[in-house]
Structure 1
């Protein structure tokens, strides 16, 4: 619950430090004194929008700090733990706004984005404004109120998840289907190109092999002539050849070594040279014996090499890259085929997600219809207490499978009959302003009892209510305050008198500056304030007596 609120240099507040207790706290004051200013300031800690207008004139910055007890708020404690922001069994939210409009938020002393203040604030406080009953006229808000009362969060989450899964799959399917015609044209081209290259079937290293073979055969005459000339020089020329000359030199060298063994290395080198020449001659002879010149084979080779060049030009790649290009086309064609398979998978997936969504939304709708009947009776009983004895309230939940949204396939319509014989009709068509205020207040009190928020703030929600009805409203809020901390800004003495404690707001002007203050009232001060609310500026013994009666309980 909210334990303390500190406000510095906010709007017309110079400084406030308020301690709050359990139960129902009422806030009263003169018209224009700023009864809601503390609530507005608290809104900064809860992540509401802030700008430079929040800073008191002449001040550098405004600062608001709110301290909460988390003894009975497990959801908020878990949230703080998940975000590494926990601090024992309490929580402090702080917000600063500078004169140039910049703001900063803090949770337990740690700087945080404003969005985190809002997330945590939703777990700590629920605020019902004086115009909240007007939101009852909107179908989306009626649906939110029904879901809040039902508390079927798991069903809502399942429906929302199924909805997002369905929409994501539908989007993927649409994108893939949109390019289906383009893919078909691309497939036809790729199929022709791959078939042509498959038929030619160029090997991975074949082009370089073809080049080398063509080069060899194109120079076959020179090869034969040069091989024969080399063989002659090495060993076959009768007059002079390297082998016979080396043999002669080797004989001389052996004789030299016999005279001086220092020349043995020369002898060794000449032996090695002779061996190399003999091996070279042998290799050349073997090559010459196996060299074949086949004109038909050469023609075939030239034709295949020519085809490589032709296909390379056609596909705009270098001849040496033709094989890899072929493999890339095969992979691209396979990818298109796999896209067709993916298209079928997505179509199946969309059907599955649609079925899951329909099942989830139907379960959600059944829960709404069941809780709507229970809420019908509670609201009807409540508004009858609020001086509408013949009223009847009904929530119409209509399921339409053609409607697909993140919150289900239901449309909700709050219907009411305020007088006997009057048919049920939409709230917006039947209820007057005062009736709408009473119905709205009844719904807010009932739904608040089902929500786990530990602190509820009602900011002048009793506008348009007076007399005996006001006393009933006061009792309803006090009853709610027995189980939940309730803070109520009100102008009605019947409501203010039902508070477990009461605060008074006043406004003073000094030296051209306006300042608002808020102080807790003692019992005697409460009686005087209630008498003022009952009789205006003139307080009589009768109004004081009536005020005491309001506090009798």
Structure 2
């Protein structure tokens, strides 16, 4: 629900702050005062293209802000959350339009595109009036309203699920078809896997291979180095390290009786002797395990060369060959079952298509029944709204492409004939703005409480009518206001009297500058405004009494 509207340097309004409540709010004023400016402001705030002409003369920019409460707008709240633009249970739309024609927009203080404004605005406000702002001219909206009227939610959900399932199966089937004949690819994959499976490619195996190759390639140097080390330890090339340590230990043993601290040193020397002996044994084992084997070295080098060739062939590092092999194996397994999968997908898609056709046929039957009921209800209301003899029909045409649509098997078109003897024509081609607005009102009243948009705006809905018909129009708007927030721009007192709230737009001229002001009217102000609308230039006591009577009759319902 709209709770606040702020205008600054907008057309002839220098500044206005308006608070809104539930029910029906009427806006009235003298001709040319700018009654429709509030409607225009909501249009700009819900995505209409910027027009520098709306900026007040002499100002740099126009600023518009609307605040909404979302407890009656679950679809808008859901949209905000999906787009990460939510901010609690409220919503603020802001638009700045510069005098050079540029504009910027914000949703809850965050920059937004016009497309986002329009998407969100369509879930918050529905404007009925001129053709380009008429939500019910959209055929998608017409079909949605028909389904809401007929309470087809469960049937539509079944159709949508069947269409979604068919689409998913069809996409997968097309992907398999695009792969074409997979025999050549399978043969290539089998050849590549045979080459890779012939080698040990695990990280441990590659590390072991590298170590073995280094050991064999440097075997001569290793043998020589181990021999020299053993000779030094054993004393073949000078004094034996082990013998020297033994002598040092013996000398320290004799001295330790006189100096107890030497006992610790003696222990270290004896430990060093043990470690040198173990080192010598280890060197002997390593030396004995080394072997100068040219054939073994050649075999290791050949294997390394094969692995490097495979890595270059598959354009991966040596360590990536194992992962490449598994990827090829997975592709091979997928393609090997492609034929069977294609047959399965075809069977599933056929079943999904059959499910969709059954569900769509059931939904279509319900839609035709609802179309008759909605047509009769709207036609009856049109007669009450001053279009006696007018006709309203809901035409349903089958879709021709044969593909399961989430919206069912038909499209919808609202057909209208406002005058007797004229054939019904598409509602979007109805010429009269006033008739269009009244027809929209009839549709909304017929579908009372089923429209998900919480705020409905009717601009000059009473154009071309008067008297009793005007009072009926006002009563219907007031009835609609019991279920939705209604904002109505009017010039008829019979309609204005039906409002729960009343704004008056007035115009004043100071020098060469024109200003419009918008004021909320209290009880006395409403009587004066209704009297002005009733009596014209001279407002008599009788006219005021008539105005007061209009208000009283409206409240009695």
TM-score interval, smaller chain: 0.5 to 0.7
Match of 1:336 in 2: 331
* 1:315 to 2:314 alignment: no
**SS at structure 1 position matched to 2:195:** helix
Q: Tell me if the contact between 2:126 and 2:457 (Cα under 8 Å) persists in the aligned partners.
A: yes
State the 1:291 CA deviation: 9.7
Extract unaligned runs of 5+ from structure 2. Answer: none
* 1:85 to 2:88 alignment: yes
* 1:304 to 2:299 alignment: yes
TM-aligned CA distance change 1:342 to 1:515, over 3 Å:
farther
* 1:523 to 2:522 alignment: no
State the 1:99 CA deviation: 4.7
Residue deviations 1:422-459 (CA, integer Å, cap 9, x gap): 8x765369977587665444223323543355543211
Size of the alignment, in residue pairs?
522
**SS at structure 1 position matched to 2:32:** coil
Match of 1:39 in 2: 39
Q: Please give the TM-score of this superposition, normalised by the length of structure 2.
A: 0.66
**SS at structure 2 position matched to 1:32:** coil
* 1:211 to 2:209 alignment: no
- Name the CA distance, whole Å, in 2 between partners of 1:19 and 1:254: 108
Map 1:293-442 onto structure 2 (within 5 A).
301=296, 304-305=299-300, 307-308=302-303, 311-312=306-307, 314-315=309-310, 324=319, 326-340=321-335, 344=341, 347=345, 351=349, 364-365=363-364, 367-386=366-385, 389-398=388-397, 400=399, 402-415=402-415, 427=426, 433=432, 439-442=439-442
- Name the CA distance, whole Å, in 2 between partners of 1:200 and 1:21: 79
Residue deviations 1:229-277 (CA, integer Å, cap 9, x gap): x99x989x9xx9999xx999999x9999999999x999x9899989979
Match of 1:146 in 2: 146
- Name the CA distance, whole Å, in 1 between partners of 2:195 and 2:120: 66
State the 1:515 CA deviation: 1.2
* 1:16 to 2:11 alignment: no
State the 1:404 CA deviation: 3.7
Residue deviations 1:445-502 (CA, integer Å, cap 9, x gap): 3235433555432112344556765554344334434554433223456544655665
- Name the CA distance, whole Å, in 2 between partners of 1:169 and 1:389: 52
Residue deviations 1:286-330 (CA, integer Å, cap 9, x gap): 988x9999xxxx686466346425524643559xx9975652442
Map 1:124-273 onto structure 2 (within 5 A).
125-131=125-131, 139-150=139-150, 152=152, 167=167, 171=171, 174=174, 178=178, 180=179, 187-199=186-198, 204=206, 207-208=209-210, 211=213
- Name the CA distance, whole Å, in 1 between partners of 2:425 and 2:496: 33
State the 1:378 CA deviation: 0.8
**SS at structure 2 position matched to 1:450:** coil
- Name the CA distance, whole Å, in 2 between partners of 1:134 and 1:271: 100
- Name the CA distance, whole Å, in 2 between partners of 1:484 and 1:282: 95
Match of 1:486 in 2: 486
Q: Tell me if the contact between 2:45 and 2:93 (Cα under 8 Å) persists in the aligned partners.
A: yes
State the 1:15 CA deviation: 3.3
- Name the CA distance, whole Å, in 1 between partners of 2:376 and 2:16: 43
State the 1:196 CA deviation: 3.2
Q: What is the alpha-carbon root mean square deviation over aligned residues?
A: 6.1
- Name the CA distance, whole Å, in 2 between partners of 1:326 and 1:197: 8
Q: Tell me if the contact between 2:498 and 2:551 (Cα under 8 Å) persists in the aligned partners.
A: yes
- Name the CA distance, whole Å, in 2 between partners of 1:429 and 1:275: 102
Of stretches 9-18 and 153-162 in structure 1, the one that deviates more from structure 2 is 153-162
Q: Tell me if the contact between 1:207 and 1:305 (Cα under 8 Å) persists in the aligned partners.
A: yes
TM-aligned CA distance change 1:336 to 1:512, over 3 Å:
same
Residue deviations 1:388-432 (CA, integer Å, cap 9, x gap): 55555332335558244453433113346778998x765369977
Extract unaligned runs of 5+ from structure 1. Answer: none
State the 1:195 CA deviation: 1.4
TM-aligned CA distance change 1:303 to 1:30, over 3 Å:
same
- Name the CA distance, whole Å, in 2 between partners of 1:550 and 1:292: 118
Residue deviations 1:151-180 (CA, integer Å, cap 9, x gap): 5556656766765676566556645654x3
